[in-house]
A and B are shown apart, each in its own frame.
Chain A
Amino acid sequence: MIYGVSLSLVLALLWWVLSGYDKITLLAFGAVSVVIAMVLVLRMRILDRETVPFMRLHTLIPYYIWLGSEIAKANMAVVKASLKPEIDITPRLVRVPVKAESDLARCVFANSITLTPGTVTVEVEEDAFLVHALDASFTAPEGFAEMNLYSARATDGDAK
């Protein structure tokens, strides 16, 4: 129920932001399209915390701000490595253990690894990710463990 209400609100907001209309007839058409979308979603039975992750926004937004700072740092390192007059890199393929309760947490963690330049998730396995790193300096296990902890805390919360 709470997922349905929040999804309708977000869809309505999205429709309004993208169209920018203020006439009542056109707004009514928007409302009708939101209702049609909701009917389709309910018929498909895909309404759960994975499709509507808005309930965790209060922890996901601080997480993505922290990730943004990490991305900026990693960007500098990658730019430095690729603009050196003489390229000197040691690419690595490492297996990173994953501790996550839900699929959503695993997905957020894998996306975070890929989003950080210098590391890309190549393969998702049962309890680990295969990660390709541009240089051996990007593969510190502490860094991955820290990111795993923060992403799991942001998506699943402390309670679990």
Chain B
Amino acid sequence: MDILLLIRDFASIALMAVGVIFVLAGAIGVVRLPDFYTRMHAAGVTDTLGAEMIVLALMLQAGFTLLSAKLLLVGFILFLTSPTATHAVANAAHRAGLNPLLSRHQPPHPRDAESGEKP
């Protein structure tokens, strides 16, 4: 019985760690990518896989209880509302006339940028 609890805890911790890594990667992407539309894609990583994995990990912790059912609802509502919100933001930017960057984006290496040379 104890070994099962141990397995559950390990699975939950692993899921939470992976979720946190995805949230962090999304945040780094938001900082690094060049324009509004591409940053939105990085934010999408945070609210799909990152958030869902953390909710799943919490569900494993809660076990087969009413709390788990509530967490399932939270995950389901996130799954439905996050694309709607993303679409609303993207559509507003498009309607307002923000033109996306469409050329190949490849910033110069910091070493080259300092010396002023193009790679």
Contact = CB atoms under 8 A, between A and B. Distances in A.
Say whether A associates with B.
Answer: yes
Interface of A: 14, 17-18, 20, 64, 71-72, 75, 78-79, 82-83, 86-93, 110-112, 114-115, 117-123, 130, 132, 134
A20 B107 CA distance: 55
Nearest to A88: B106
B85 to A, nearest CB: 9
Interface residues of B, number: 41
A137 B97 CA distance: 25
Given A17-B73, A87-B105, A134 B41 contact: yes
Contacts of A75: 22, 45, 48-49
Contact of B25 (A17, A79, A119): A79
Interface of B: 22, 25-26, 28-29, 32-35, 37-38, 40-42, 44-45, 48-49, 66, 69-70, 73, 79-80, 82-84, 86-87, 90-91, 94, 100-107, 109
A13 to B, nearest CB: 9
A76 to B, nearest CB: 9
B94 to A, nearest CB: 5
A125 B106 CA distance: 32
A93 B83 contact: no
A118 B48 contact: no
B105 A115 contact: no
Contact of A115 (B69, B73, B83): B83
